Chain A
Amino acid sequence: MPERTLMGGNIAVAEGAILAGCQAYFGYPITPQNDLLEHMARRMPAEGRVFLQTESELAAINMVYGAAAVGFRAMTSTSSPGFSLQQEGISYMAGAEMPAVIVNIMRAGPGLGNIGGAQGDYMQCTRGGGHGDYYLINLAPSTVQEMMDLTMLAFDLADKYRNPVLVVADGFLGQVMESVIIRDRVKKLPEKKWAITGAKGRPKNLINSFEMNPIDHPKRIKLLLDKFEKMRRNEVRYEALNTEDADIILVAYGSAARSAISAMTMGRSNKLRVGLIRPITLFPFPYQPLADLADRGCKFVVAEMSGGQMVEDVRIAVGNQNEIKLVNSYGGVPLEADPIFEAIDLLM
């Protein structure tokens, strides 16, 4: 009988990281993920692993970079304003091909914004976020169980591709408490021959993103671009609910998906043929399943907690012929099921 317990979303991320063998955590307090940092402050030293509260998110991401360079599974967590600060470090890590897990518990922006949950970092998260040609796999949990499971998956994908991976959630999901199955601990961590562990018995290793000779740089970028193409082919993840006969497809992720599921249930009980596509990877985005549904003539309702960002990816997937309605909330206000249901009703 697997062990079950009641757990908050942020704590599930922390415990998932520990189960996945996270060896170093560096973080800075920012609402709404302070409980994640505080939980790590207690648990990491108890597990004999590295924990440090840093002087800023800038320092935290650079410490993650240093830890990754010596071959450690390393993580930081933050919220939107701190995530902005981390773009430089993430870009360097993508350029140097360093694995790491970055958790963004999104809050309302722009600027200081609001501590309420939001999904307003979507573009920043899915388009690299920092300077230069790179992407990060974005994993978007929608339940506390997924907060744990996708954090564990993030470490594996980071090592698989030698690239940072983002776990993208929001402030509401971080606080919600649900029943969770505690997964098994990862027993064996992958070997990392490229790590800088002291040049003992081998030529020296270098971790960098810089090419002294400008002629060599395009080759390096091509390797990265091929990597992202591989991600697009192999790592798309999404959930499809009730889409087989649906006329209207809801598209939502994270907390918005929870409300969308309620709206879908309301729709179905009113004999409306509603389905849901819930992206689990925001990058690579599930363009294909949406395109297939568009070919069938479906209409789409995009439900997100932002001014309208994922809706652009849905438009790219679906083309210009099918109707898309955006239902959204922003500024830290949760998106409820009723407005989504009303949109479904109107479209019918």
Chain B
Amino acid sequence: MNDYDSVIFARPDIMVDRATHFCPGCGHGIIQRLVGEALQELDLHERAICIGSIGCTVTAYEYYKVDGMEAPHGRAPAVATAIKRCRPDLVPFAIQGDGDLASIGTAEIVHAAARGEKITIIFANNATYGMTGGQLAPTTLMGMYTSSTPGGRNAEQSGFPIRMSEMLATLDGPAYIARVSVHNPANVRKAGKAIELAFRTQLAGLGFAMVEVLSMCPINWKVEPVQAPDWMIANMIPQFPLGEFKVMPGVAALRKGDKS
């Protein structure tokens, strides 16, 4: 580097300089960085509260230089609700997996959304239970192998996958709900914008914001990491279409001020 060099991409300062515990090619690593970029951009060092959930996000609070706490499986939206109602100046957020949000925590996310709690939820959907070894998730695709549906998911035994974003968007409480993906640079950029908007929604006091991020899990999809993006396109996106499902006028107005 000399005097004329500028760093145009690096680890956000708000993120701890350490290796992650994720598998090679895991989408969580990208998602956590996007959250870090949003926290940094919005200068939330002194206000953000990172709530770690269960599964691969359990150590989320180790990666940011902000206050953090642990929530039981599925309960992060309830914990965040209390933090925000007690201290509206703080910015609680949680990263939850599909087991946490769509299985054991379904009641908590639905009611936090229905009440319009001013919190930010990042929902990492990889259609499997990563941390525990690849069991059935509420978002597992039809016919997909999991360690607890070894013959592939079938309707008779395990029903059908849940589209959480569409479901929550039917409620009046949410201000912003979007589904994005991190399978290639163009989509990672879009995901980053959506995540930042979800935080800005909370800062503007507009209501509940959730971004569902389709995430690669090469280990449990049984593919090499470099095959995972194609697997995402072929299998995940047809089941979980990308797009915005709820954008309140106030949120749309926030987006108009978008620099890019």
Contact = CB atoms under 8 A, between A and B. Distances in A.
Let me know if chains A and B touch directly in the complex, using CB atoms closer than 8 Å.
yes
Interface of A: 23-24, 26, 50, 52, 54-56, 58-59, 62-67, 69-70, 72, 74, 88-89, 92, 96, 196-201, 204-210, 212
Given A56-B107, A197-B67, 6 more contacts: A64-B82, A65-B71, A70-B86, A197-B87, A199-B65, A210-B58
Nearest to A93: B72
A66 B45 contact: no
22 contacts: A50-B86, A52-B82, A52-B85, A55-B110, A58-B108, A59-B75, A64-B82, A65-B79, A66-B80, A66-B81, A66-B86, A70-B83, A70-B87, A74-B86, A196-B68, A198-B48, A198-B67, A199-B45, A199-B67, A205-B67, A206-B67, A212-B62
Interface string B51-71: 010000011011011111111
B82 A63 contact: yes
Interface residues of B, number: 36
The 9 closest A-B pairs by CB, nearest first: A66-B82, A208-B70, A196-B67, A63-B82, A66-B79, A62-B78, A207-B69, A200-B46, A55-B111
Contacts of A62: 71-72, 75, 78-79, 82, 108
A40 to B, nearest CB: 14
Contacts of A67: 82-83, 85-86
B217 interface: no
A129 to B, nearest CB: 15
A24 B86 contact: yes
A210 B69 CA distance: 10
Contacts of A24: 82, 85-86
Nearest to B71: A62
A238 B171 CA distance: 52
A96 B70 contact: yes
B67 to A, nearest CB: 4
B142 interface: no
A212 B69 contact: no
A198 B47 contact: yes
Nearest to B108: A59
Nearest to A208: B70
Contact of B70 (A54, A197, A209): A209
Interface of B (DSSP majority class): mixed
Contacts of B81: 52, 63, 66
Interface string B101-119: 0000001101100000000
A131 B65 CA distance: 31
A59 B49 CA distance: 19
A58 B46 contact: no
Nearest to B111: A55
A208 B52 contact: yes
Contact of A198 (B49, B69, B80, B110): B49
Contacts of A64: 82
Nearest to B47: A198
A200 B67 CA distance: 9
Contacts of A198: 46-49, 66-67, 87, 89-90
B78 A92 contact: no
A207 B82 CA distance: 15
B111 A72 contact: no
Contacts of B62: 212
A92 B48 CA distance: 22
A206 B86 contact: no
A26 B75 CA distance: 14
Given A59-B111, A88-B72, A208-B52, A66 B83 contact: yes
Contact of B72 (A70, A92, A197, A207): A92
A227 B153 CA distance: 48
Given A55-B108, A198-B46, A198-B47, A66 B78 contact: yes
Contact of A204 (B65, B80, B111): B65
B122 to A, nearest CB: 18
A210 B78 CA distance: 19
Contacts of B48: 198
A128 to B, nearest CB: 16
